Structure 1
Amino acid sequence: MGDSYPVIRLAAIQAASVFLDRQASVARAAELIREAGKAGAEFIVFPEGFIPAHPIWYQYHPAMSPEATGLSVELFANAVEVPGPHLAAIAEAARAAGAFVVVGVCERTPGRTGTLYNTQVYFGPDGEYLGKHQKLVPTVTERLVHGPGSAATFGARPSRYGQVSSLICGENSNPLAVFALIAEGTQVHGMSWPPTFGPTGQPIRARVQNAAIAFAQMAKTFVVAACGVVDEATISALDITDEHAAFLRSPNATGGSVIVSPTAEVMAQASDDGGEQIVLAEADLKTAVRAKFVADVAGHYNRPDVFSLRVDRTDRKLYDVIGDIEHRVHSPERIGDEQEGLDEAGIGISAPPLRGT
């Protein structure tokens, strides 16, 4: 008897953050996980930066304006540390639902101020923290608050459904990133998208659907694309013009979540009103096996003697310390020794001599 392939239920969460409120956004995410779990969801994907918000204010305010700067400071104050205690309620909700969860967050480094990261955090069906993916290259105005992510966080990872993966927004159209995940055998892929792309270009739902279908077509995998929503509380907090507020209230400005099959067929999609909902679809993983017989671009449908890709996951550090320095309280009787450039063990120290009168 051969292998069997499960049928799993996929869920894209289309919802609004509790704008710039970490605790309330976490509680909201946990509630939505439990709701999706009750509907049978086993793989749940959240929008980009769901906790505590995505920095969409830069689409409407100049970079160094008081409005943008004030909101960015609030973003930092409500960012999460990964791993850390801020997401404990989400871990518990994933365990209660028995689902693999991918949640978009704004991440900060413990003990530091300044740079943030645009991150997806993974939790397993037992509630265990399974790692994270930091967006490798922030897109457009995100660069004002988000730094480039660590290469060490990129890649597919195992689950009870097989290999799973995720990328954030524009990364899902990076051909090399897509190929790398195909080569790693991804079978279910999560896409996290922001609540809006701003008042220029085609509607967000069109761009998201194009990217999801293209990824599924190339990878022969299930794609779960989750988009955010802009609610009235967010519009009020953004302090924008009436014209921009009217745009954000229009159906074309927000939403667009979709689930696509390995045969590039749309299995389920959000309604056109841009409102909150949980998009669900059942995925027969055997479909991916059949699709890859046609064209496995990281296998028989490629030529490694012609094309190859090298992925470097080295986490290159800007600041690295080897060894440590002993911090001491200087006593008057030792000042003379230090002026000679010697420590108490007679070893030379790098500090310059003290200058006295």
Structure 2
Amino acid sequence: MTKNQIRIAVVQASPILFDKLSSMEKIISKTKEAAGQGADLVVFPEVFLPGYPRGLGFGTRVGSRNTAGREDWKRYWESAIEIPGVETEALGELAKETGVYLVIGVVERDREFSRGTLYNSVVYIGPDGEVAGKHRKLVPTGSERLLWGQGDGSTLTVIDTPFGRIGGLICWENYMPLARTAMYAQGIDIFITPTADARDTWQSTIRHIACEGRCFVVSSNQFVTKDSYPADLACYEDIKDDPGIMCRGGSAIVGPLGEYVVEPLYNQEGMLIADLDLSLVAQSRFDFDAVGHYSRPDVFQLIVNRQKQDIVRGFNQE
């Protein structure tokens, strides 16, 4: 039976970029703080582990890459994690100790084939300490494609919990109407949108998703200052003239009719705490259900390929 009430904590913070240990320490401290306030679900921003390298070019121009940029990228690669791996085991112990569900944006290093590709991923960890699922961003946005590979349909993840079904998409994936529909079709109740977008238009996006999906939308963003960047990066010059605040945040929680449960938080670190009434999801679908009575399968149909896309088949990759 689904519980109607859940207390959710949304973390708006940033680690020291390229520093896996800093990220893990902050995840531990913020999770314990949230659990101390009775949270059942704790959400961290896009690629919080080990951080979003906003403004850095990694020595790239169209048609060329330089050696210093490759060195910085290797440093970023070394700060990524594998799923499962040492870090997810530690996070599992944390979730089990605190009794919460953890949703964390991570940079994931491929562990099956070349081990050279990174992905912008979200990992879901249950209070039993196990990895409940993950999602890899389908299309990295703009110059993010220099860093991260493309995910596939096998990680369009929605997870059953005692308080409803949770899942989500990462940042600008949420502008993909068919990806959103694939999530709605899995009966999602709490739609989680880790992001790096601090613009006002992002707020329009998450409120629209709440209205369209008739679900709660939880958006977690980082508050990032320039002093969280290691000054010894080869590409540090890329941001030397940028303002002190690199990302102002804008984390928020929206109800299933598009109203703010907690309004956006800007220009500071913080944690949003809210009690969500999941009975409101069912109430909201009385007059609109995008994949139910308001769908027209005689006119529109969506085919979702959920197969894992491997470059080589037939080898045991474990």
The reply to whether TM is greater than 0.5 is yes
1:233 counterpart letter in structure 2: S
Between structures 1 and 2, the one with greater strand share: 2
Measured in 2, the distance between the counterparts of 1:176 and 1:143 equals 21
Partner amino acid, structure 2, of 1:30: I
- Match 1:135 to one of 117, 134, 137: 137
- Residue of structure 2 equivalent to 1:336: none
* Residue 27 of structure 1: aligned partner: 25
Larger Rg computed on CA atoms = 1
Deviation at 1:12, TM superposition (A): 1.4
- Match of 1:41? 39
Q: In structure 2, what residue type is equivalent to 1:271?
A: L
Give me the whole-angstrom Cα distance separating, in 2, the residues matched to 1:242 and 1:34: 33
Aligned positions of 1:146-161 closer than 5 A = 146-161=148-163
Shift of 1:235: 7.0
2: distance between equivalents of 1:54 and 1:71? Answer: 14
Q: Calculate percent identity across the aligned residue pairs.
A: 32
In structure 1, runs of 5+ residues without a counterpart are 198-203, 324-357
- Normalising by structure 1, we get a TM-score of 0.80
- The question of 1:297 aligning with 2:298 is answered no
After superposition, the C-alpha distances for 1:99-136 in whole angstroms (9 at most, x for unaligned) are 21110111112373421111100001222211110111
Q: Pairwise mapping of residues 44-83 of structure 1 onto structure 2 (< 5 A)?
A: 44-58=42-56, 62-63=60-61, 64-66=65-67, 68-83=69-84
Measured after TM superposition, the shift of residue 242 of structure 1 is 7.1
Q: TM-score, normalised by structure 2?
A: 0.90
| Aligned CA distance change for structure 1 residues 87 and 98 (closer, same or farther; 3 Å) | same
Superposed, 1:308-327 pairs within 5 Å as: 308-321=301-314
Counterpart-to-counterpart distance in 2, 1:103 and 1:124: 12
- Residue in structure 2 matched with residue 348 of structure 1 by the alignment: none
Partner of 2:228: 233
Q: Do the aligned partners of residues 85 and 60 (structure 1) sit closer, same or farther apart at CA in structure 2, a change above 3 Å counting?
A: closer
CA contact (8 A) 2:254 2:262 kept: yes
Aligned to 1:267: 261
1:16 CA displacement: 0.5
Displacement of 1:208 in angstroms is: 2.6
Q: State how 1:156-171 maps to structure 2 within 5 Å.
A: 156-171=158-173
Matches within 5 A, 1:237-252: 239-240=236-237, 244-246=241-243, 248-249=244-245
Taking the aligned partners of 1:35 and 1:167, their CA distance within structure 2 comes to 26
* Equivalent residues, number: 310
Distance (Å, rounded) in 1 between the aligned partners of 2:266 and 2:125: 30
Compute the displacement of 1:50 (Å): 0.8
- Pairwise CA RMSD of aligned residues? 2.3
Query: Which amino acid in the other structure matches residue 245 of structure 2?
Result: R
Divergent runs of 4+, >6 A: none
RCO higher in structure (CA 8 A, sep ≥6): 2
Do 1:45 and 1:191's aligned partners in 2 also have CA atoms closer than 8 Å? Answer: no
